[in-house]
Structure 1
Amino acid sequence: MPALIGPVQIFNVEGGTVHFGDTAVISPKSAAKTTTGSGSNSSGAFVAVLNGISANGTVDTNLIDQPTLGNN
Protein backbone atom coordinates (compact mmCIF):
# COMPACT_ATOMS: atom_id res chain seq x y z
CA MET A 1 0.00 0.00 0.00
CA PRO A 2 1.50 3.37 -0.94
CA ALA A 3 2.31 5.85 1.78
CA LEU A 4 1.55 9.56 1.58
CA ILE A 5 4.50 11.57 2.91
CA GLY A 6 4.04 15.17 3.97
CA PRO A 7 6.69 17.87 4.35
CA VAL A 8 9.97 16.50 5.77
CA GLN A 9 12.98 18.40 7.09
CA ILE A 10 16.13 16.36 7.87
CA PHE A 11 19.09 18.24 9.30
CA ASN A 12 21.61 15.46 9.89
CA VAL A 13 21.94 11.68 9.42
CA GLU A 14 25.15 10.09 10.66
CA GLY A 15 25.51 6.47 9.58
CA GLY A 16 21.78 5.90 9.74
CA THR A 17 19.05 4.91 7.33
CA VAL A 18 16.03 7.01 6.41
CA HIS A 19 13.05 5.17 4.93
CA PHE A 20 10.02 6.73 3.30
CA GLY A 21 7.06 4.66 2.22
CA ASP A 22 6.42 0.99 2.92
CA THR A 23 8.95 -0.66 5.22
CA ALA A 24 8.33 -4.12 6.63
CA VAL A 25 11.21 -4.52 9.10
CA ILE A 26 14.02 -2.22 10.22
CA SER A 27 16.52 -3.79 12.59
CA PRO A 28 19.38 -1.88 14.18
CA LYS A 29 22.95 -2.72 13.22
CA SER A 30 24.46 -0.97 16.23
CA ALA A 31 23.31 0.43 19.54
CA ALA A 32 24.89 3.10 21.73
CA LYS A 33 24.07 4.87 24.97
CA THR A 34 24.98 8.46 25.68
CA THR A 35 24.48 10.35 28.90
CA THR A 36 24.47 14.13 28.66
CA GLY A 37 23.48 17.06 30.82
CA SER A 38 20.45 19.27 30.53
CA GLY A 39 20.00 20.75 27.05
CA SER A 40 23.35 19.55 25.69
CA ASN A 41 21.99 17.01 23.21
CA SER A 42 19.29 19.19 21.65
CA SER A 43 18.89 19.31 17.89
CA GLY A 44 16.71 21.28 15.57
CA ALA A 45 16.54 24.34 13.39
CA PHE A 46 16.33 26.72 16.38
CA VAL A 47 17.11 25.64 19.93
CA ALA A 48 16.94 27.96 22.94
CA VAL A 49 18.05 26.37 26.21
CA LEU A 50 18.03 28.24 29.50
CA ASN A 51 19.57 26.12 32.26
CA GLY A 52 20.71 26.72 35.78
CA ILE A 53 23.15 24.27 37.28
CA SER A 54 23.12 20.90 35.52
CA ALA A 55 24.55 17.77 37.11
CA ASN A 56 24.31 14.29 35.66
CA GLY A 57 24.99 11.35 37.96
CA THR A 58 24.03 8.21 36.08
CA VAL A 59 24.01 4.67 37.44
CA ASP A 60 23.46 2.07 34.71
CA THR A 61 22.61 -1.38 36.03
CA ASN A 62 21.78 -2.91 32.64
CA LEU A 63 24.46 -5.05 31.07
CA ILE A 64 22.81 -5.16 27.62
CA ASP A 65 20.20 -2.56 26.64
CA GLN A 66 19.50 -3.56 23.05
CA PRO A 67 21.18 -6.69 21.75
CA THR A 68 22.28 -6.43 18.12
CA LEU A 69 23.59 -9.97 17.73
CA GLY A 70 21.99 -11.65 14.75
CA ASN A 71 20.63 -8.49 13.10
CA ASN A 72 21.70 -9.13 9.53
Structure 2
Amino acid sequence: MPAFVGAVQVINLGSSGVFHIGDVFQIQPLSNSKTFAGAGSFNTGDGLSVYNERSSTNTYDQDGLDQGNYFNV
Protein backbone atom coordinates (compact mmCIF):
# COMPACT_ATOMS: atom_id res chain seq x y z
CA MET A 1 0.00 0.00 0.00
CA PRO A 2 1.57 3.33 -1.01
CA ALA A 3 2.43 5.84 1.67
CA PHE A 4 3.26 9.53 1.79
CA VAL A 5 6.63 10.22 3.39
CA GLY A 6 7.74 13.62 4.56
CA ALA A 7 11.29 14.91 4.82
CA VAL A 8 13.94 12.31 5.58
CA GLN A 9 17.47 13.00 6.78
CA VAL A 10 20.05 10.20 6.74
CA ILE A 11 23.08 10.96 8.88
CA ASN A 12 25.00 7.71 8.45
CA LEU A 13 24.50 4.44 6.60
CA GLY A 14 26.88 1.51 6.99
CA SER A 15 28.54 -0.26 4.10
CA SER A 16 26.16 -3.22 4.24
CA GLY A 17 23.10 -1.26 5.35
CA VAL A 18 19.87 -0.72 3.45
CA PHE A 19 17.88 2.52 3.35
CA HIS A 20 14.43 2.00 1.94
CA ILE A 21 11.29 4.12 1.63
CA GLY A 22 8.25 2.74 -0.14
CA ASP A 23 7.01 -0.64 -1.29
CA VAL A 24 9.46 -3.48 -1.75
CA PHE A 25 9.32 -7.17 -2.58
CA GLN A 26 12.72 -8.29 -1.36
CA ILE A 27 15.82 -6.65 0.14
CA GLN A 28 19.11 -8.57 0.26
CA PRO A 29 22.06 -6.67 1.71
CA LEU A 30 25.34 -8.49 1.16
CA SER A 31 28.58 -8.09 3.06
CA ASN A 32 31.76 -9.99 3.80
CA SER A 33 34.00 -9.58 6.80
CA LYS A 34 36.82 -11.35 8.54
CA THR A 35 37.29 -10.96 12.27
CA PHE A 36 40.35 -11.82 14.30
CA ALA A 37 39.96 -11.69 18.07
CA GLY A 38 41.96 -13.00 20.99
CA ALA A 39 40.84 -15.07 23.92
CA GLY A 40 38.04 -13.39 25.88
CA SER A 41 37.39 -10.72 23.25
CA PHE A 42 33.65 -11.23 22.79
CA ASN A 43 32.67 -11.99 26.38
CA THR A 44 29.73 -10.00 27.70
CA GLY A 45 27.94 -9.98 31.03
CA ASP A 46 27.84 -8.48 34.51
CA GLY A 47 30.79 -9.10 36.81
CA LEU A 48 32.86 -10.87 34.17
CA SER A 49 36.42 -11.92 35.02
CA VAL A 50 38.64 -13.29 32.29
CA TYR A 51 42.19 -14.41 33.00
CA ASN A 52 44.37 -15.23 30.00
CA GLU A 53 47.89 -15.99 31.09
CA ARG A 54 49.40 -16.32 27.60
CA SER A 55 47.25 -15.58 24.61
CA SER A 56 48.09 -14.75 21.02
CA THR A 57 45.89 -14.41 17.97
CA ASN A 58 47.22 -15.77 14.69
CA THR A 59 46.16 -13.33 11.97
CA TYR A 60 48.20 -14.90 9.19
CA ASP A 61 45.85 -16.17 6.48
CA GLN A 62 47.72 -18.32 4.00
CA ASP A 63 44.89 -18.95 1.53
CA GLY A 64 44.30 -16.39 -1.18
CA LEU A 65 40.50 -16.60 -1.26
CA ASP A 66 37.83 -17.14 1.36
CA GLN A 67 34.25 -18.28 0.95
CA GLY A 68 32.26 -15.51 -0.71
CA ASN A 69 28.65 -14.53 -1.29
CA TYR A 70 28.56 -15.96 -4.80
CA PHE A 71 25.13 -17.62 -4.64
CA ASN A 72 23.41 -15.09 -2.35
CA VAL A 73 22.21 -12.86 -5.14
Q: TM-score range by the shorter chain?
A: 0.3 to 0.5
Q: For CA contacts below 8 A with separation 6 or more, give which structure has more relative contact order.
A: 1
Select the structure of larger CA radius of gyration.
2
**TM-score, length-scaled by structure 1:** 0.42
